[in-house]
Amino acid sequence: MRSVPKHLEVSIWRGDSAGGYFEDFQVPAQKNQTILDVVSWIQQNEDATLSYRYACRVGMCGSCAMMVNGVPRWTCRTHVNKAMKGNRLEVAPLRNMPVIKDLATDMDVFFDKWVKAEGVHHPSKTREDVIEPITGDNIERAKANAGIECINCAVCYAACDTVRGNPNYLGPAALQRAWTVYNDVKDAGKRAVLAAVSGRDGCHNCHTQGSCTLYCPNDLDPMGAIAGLKRATIAAAFKKEVG
Amino acid sequence: MIQPHRKHPLWFAHILHRLSGLALALFVPVHFFVLSKAVTNPAALDGFLHWAESPLVKLAEFGLVFLLAVHIFGGLRLLALEFLPWSGPRKTLAAGAVAAGFLISVTFLLRAI
């Protein structure tokens, strides 16, 4: 069994969008400890001005993701042993988003892209209509189900080098949402979805590097969803449904 | 230095496809220039072909064949990944593309030496 060191050597990024630096801390090691526990310990015991974001602590809310030793992770569900290199942890704000302060990023641009990708419900019925039953063996329903557990944590967005290269690229989370909406039998906006994702900043910008699918903490497959959108937009283009 | 989040098979497959494509794009103009000598200067072409028989050039050609093969199979991998209704990273496809690239280029090398 691995011996537990007394202290962890932790570097925490401090600063804002103008720039910053890594500050070193020594954090008492515990047998069971998440990355979020480590960051919280520093904020509660070493420096109360350290800024970071979290809410539920159980992997539901998607607010605590950070770069841990260069890899995006949900910090509340990541055991220190899983991410540690030797005795060291380096915790930084998520990539591809402006930093507000320290470990907290401005996620506005990330959420704005969900709307840009038409990742919103387009009603096909009114409240007066009878609720249409959709059974579990419905093929579209199965495709939609594959993406609905997304918790908007932006881990995939931070992992994506295409977003890095083109800040206007809609990104894996928004495109996966668009694919989910596209497969919703009750959604009336399929053409609008395809039009929104077929532009130069849409699904065809994806280089299939697979970091989104690899790092998704909920084991979702945004890369597969984007491939689905690629097929759907190409089929629609042949039918002259989208330009 | 490769950033930590990039250290996984699909990213390596991506960069191999990109770099092999760039290298082939640089090679093709040279290739056509040499071929054009058959019309403009046959003696120079014969001289070049004689030089191309040397072992070092054969080894370089092995690299070239590998780049071409891995680029073709890498492209087929992408087409399969994106146009067939599959999900997941399909790392075996990436490994298969590299293996097929080696198979063809090593076969070329064995026949050349």
Is A243 part of a structural domain of the chain?
no
Check whether residue A23 and residue A116 sit in a common domain.
no
A17 to A51, A96, B22: CA distances (angstroms) = 13, 11, 35
Going by their DSSP bridges, the two strands A71-74 and A65-68 should be labelled as antiparallel
Instruction: Answer yes or no: is pLDDT of B98 > 90.
Output: no
Non-local (6+) Cβ contacts of A132 within 8 A are A125, A185, A186
* DSSP 8-state symbol, A232: H
For residues A91 and A83, the answer to whether their CB atoms sit within 8 Å is no
Alpha-carbon gap, residue A78 to A68, rounded angstroms? 10
- Average pLDDT (B51-66) is 90
Nearest C-alpha in B relative to A72: B5
pLDDT for B94 equals 84
Q: Do B82 and A207 touch (CB under 8 A)?
A: no
Q: Is residue B51 less than 8 Å (CB to CB) from chain A? A: no
Check whether residue A219 and residue A124 sit in a common domain.
yes
A30 to A4, A40, A124, A158: CA distances (angstroms) = 8, 13, 53, 29
Alpha-carbon gap, residue A35 to A91, rounded angstroms? 8
pLDDT for A220 equals 96
Q: Do B88 and A213 touch (CB under 8 A)?
A: yes
Question: A53 lies in which domain range?
Answer: 7-105
Q: How confident is the model at residue B111 (pLDDT cuts 50, 70, 90)?
A: confident
pTM score of the predicted model: 0.91
Check whether residue A99 and residue A131 sit in a common domain.
no
Last residue of some domain: A50, A77, A105?
A105
Tokens at A26, concatenated:
């020594």
pLDDT for A2 equals 56
Check whether residue A216 and residue A118 sit in a common domain.
yes
Of A69, A221, A227, the CB nearest to B4: A69
Q: How many residues does chain A have?
A: 243
Q: Do A208 and B8 touch (CB under 8 A)?
A: no
pLDDT for A32 equals 93
Last residue of some domain: A52, A85, A105?
A105
Chain B residues in contact with A94 by the CB 8 A cut-off are none
* DSSP 8-state symbol, A3: P
CATH number at residue A147: 1.10.1060.10
Q: Do B5 and A228 touch (CB under 8 A)?
A: no
Q: Is residue B88 less than 8 Å (CB to CB) from chain A? A: yes
Non-local (6+) Cβ contacts of A15 within 8 A are A21, A99, A101, A102
Check whether residue A89 and residue A166 sit in a common domain.
no
Summarised one tens digit per residue, pLDDT across range B1-46 is: 899 999 999 999 999 999 999 999 999 999 999 999 999 999 999 9
Q: Do B11 and A209 touch (CB under 8 A)?
A: yes
Q: Do A223 and B78 touch (CB under 8 A)?
A: no
pLDDT for A124 equals 92
Tokens at B82, concatenated:
């994106």
Q: Do B10 and A69 touch (CB under 8 A)?
A: no
Chain A residues in contact with B87 by the CB 8 A cut-off are 146, 221, 224
For residues A153 and A110, the answer to whether their CB atoms sit within 8 Å is no
Is A158 part of a structural domain of the chain?
yes
Alpha-carbon gap, residue B101 to B99, rounded angstroms? 5
Chain A residues in contact with B74 by the CB 8 A cut-off are none
Alpha-carbon gap, residue A139 to B10, rounded angstroms? 28
Of A159, A214, A230, the CB nearest to B89: A214
Check whether residue A36 and residue A123 sit in a common domain.
no
Tokens at B27, concatenated:
């090679």
Of B85, B86, B89, the CB nearest to A210: B89
State how many domains chain A has: 2
Alpha-carbon gap, residue A120 to A93, rounded angstroms? 28
Low-confidence ranges of chain A (pLDDT < 50): 1
How many angstroms separate the CA of residue A222 from the nearest CA in chain B? 9
Tokens at A143, concatenated:
């495709």
Nearest C-alpha in A relative to B86: A224
pLDDT higher for B39 or B112? B39
Alpha-carbon gap, residue A158 to A73, rounded angstroms? 9
Best residue of B1, B2, B10, B17 to probe chain A, by most A CBs closer than 10 Å: B10
Q: Is residue B31 less than 8 Å (CB to CB) from chain A? A: no
Helix, strand and coil content of chain B, in percent to the nearest 5, comes to 85, 0, 15
Tokens at B10, concatenated:
């699909």
Query: From the CB of residue B50, how many other CB atoms can be counted at a distance below 10 Å?
Result: 9
How many angstroms separate the CA of residue B18 from the nearest CA in chain A? 10
pLDDT for A4 equals 60
pLDDT for A231 equals 95
Check whether residue A86 and residue A162 sit in a common domain.
no
Non-local (6+) Cβ contacts of B93 within 8 A are B77, B80, B81
For residues A119 and A108, the answer to whether their CB atoms sit within 8 Å is no
